[in-house]
Structure 1
Amino acid sequence: MKKAAILGGTFSPPHLGHLLIANEVLYALDLDEVRFMPNHIPPHKVQPLGVSDKDRVRMLELSIEGNSCFSIEGVELEREGPSYTYDTVRILQEMEPDTEFYFIIGADMIEYLPKWHRIDELMNLIQFVGVKRPQYKEETDYPIIMVESPQLLLSSSLIRQRIEDGITIKYLVDDKVRRYIEENKLYGSR
């Protein structure tokens, strides 16, 4: 049976912390692949600074280029309406019954798990993998596999703010992503 982990997020933009987490989980759990799954932005939220799904996917493609163990999972972008992890996991399991799925979350999400849609049923469908994140606790009553990873205090919102402020993002995102952001004037880049 194939073993694949899903790393969901807005990836606006994808940064080196995302790649580090994916790589650490891939090797710690001896997985076949890690799929980056860009989330649909809920209808009540405005897309961050006008960045399209197409731009987010392209930046992910540039980030994972050359790593055969990384791919993009587009199932949430193809669906209409709100994207609940429970529904997404059910769809993935129906599409690929011979794949054992894991779902990677940061410690910030571990604290929030009790509020997830249908969390108790979801826990019966998929194995959650938690990754430590600075300033967050990873204590939970839910069965989560914790993976050690070098910790970076890095977020997409920090990167967007640096771009808006005209501060370099070199070494925070893949160079191809940095060039893509600059060439396409994303996030208010100059």
Structure 2
Amino acid sequence: MLIAQMAASQVALDQVIWIPDRSSPHKSRSSLASFEHRREMVATSIADRPNFVLSPLLSNRSGTSLAIDTLLYLQKSQPDDRLYWIIGADAFQTLPKWPRCREIGAQCNWLVAPRPNPGDGEWEKMQVQTNAIGRRVAEQMALFDVQIQWQVLAMPAIEISSSQIRRYCTEGRSIRYLVPEAVITYIAAHQLYRSPTTANS
């Protein structure tokens, strides 16, 4: 949520489209809630933000979700819009390995969110490391004759990741201030991300 808010303000985005993935080839599904639960949590989180929109794209689609399919859908549904892809630095550095990355790379602008090293929240280091990732990805894509447009988002030096939030839930630790209150209520009501121990406590 924070990354989306920072991107929207820094680049003056008219709209941020949220597309929860049903089955991504880049992530293990073992620790994730079902698609329906994740979609509902997104809807709950953005309910009071009119420029944040939940896409129906993957709601009725089964199988693996590929980035190229998402991009083609957005280009077809919003042909006059300039597209930006908001992405974390960890995922961005894998772009050259994505299926059909040549088609994806040049079709949108990449807004890259830094992630601080564990125990190191210094913004300058985050900025330097993420810019280095961006240059490396640009060089790798250039080998495919693809020029990409990218920029690093200015982010506060705090450590929040989806895996961290899931781990906290599993361990029975508080996630207050890490996610919206409505999402905390939803997770508790549906006992998501709980180990047998925390679920029975």
CA contact (8 A) 1:35 1:70 kept: yes
Q: Which structure: larger Rg?
A: 2
1:183 and 1:58 mapped to 2: Cα distance? 13
2:154 and 2:177 mapped to 1: Cα distance? 22
1:52 and 1:81 mapped to 2: Cα distance? 14
Residues 1:154 and 2:160 aligned together: yes
Shift of 1:184: 1.2
Bigger share in strand: 1
1:148 and 1:159 mapped to 2: Cα distance? 22
Q: Deviations over 1:50-70 (max 9, x none)?
A: x22121111111111211111
Q: 1:131 aligns with which of 113, 130, 133?
A: 113
2:61 and 2:34 mapped to 1: Cα distance? 16
Correspondence for 2:15: 33
CA contact (8 A) 1:41 1:47 kept: no
CA contact (8 A) 2:175 2:184 kept: yes
Q: Structure 2 counterpart of 1:143, which letter?
A: Q
User: Could you say what secondary structure the match of 1:122 adopts?
Assistant: helix
Residues 1:113 and 2:95 aligned together: yes
Q: Which runs of 4+ in 1 moved over 6 A?
A: none
Q: Structure 1 counterpart of 2:62, which letter?
A: E
TM-score w.r.t. length of structure 1? 0.81
Name the count of aligned residue pairs: 171
Q: Which runs of 5+ in 1 are unaligned?
A: 1-18
Correspondence for 2:142: none
Identity across matched positions, percent: 32
Residues 1:85 and 2:67 aligned together: yes
Shift of 1:85: 0.9
2:91 and 2:28 mapped to 1: Cα distance? 19
TM-score w.r.t. length of structure 2? 0.77
Residues 1:72 and 2:78 aligned together: no
Correspondence list, 1:30-69, <5 A: 30-42=12-24, 45-48=28-31, 51-69=33-51
Shift of 1:42: 4.0
Shift of 1:76: 3.0
Q: What is the root-mean-square deviation in Å for CA atoms of aligned residues?
A: 2.0
- Higher relative contact order structure (alpha carbons within 8 Å, sequence separation ≥ 6): 1
User: Could you say what secondary structure the match of 2:169 adopts?
Assistant: helix
Correspondence for 1:15: none
Kindly tell me: are residues 151 and 75 of structure 1, through their superposed partners in 2, closer, same or farther at Cα, counting changes over 3 Å? farther
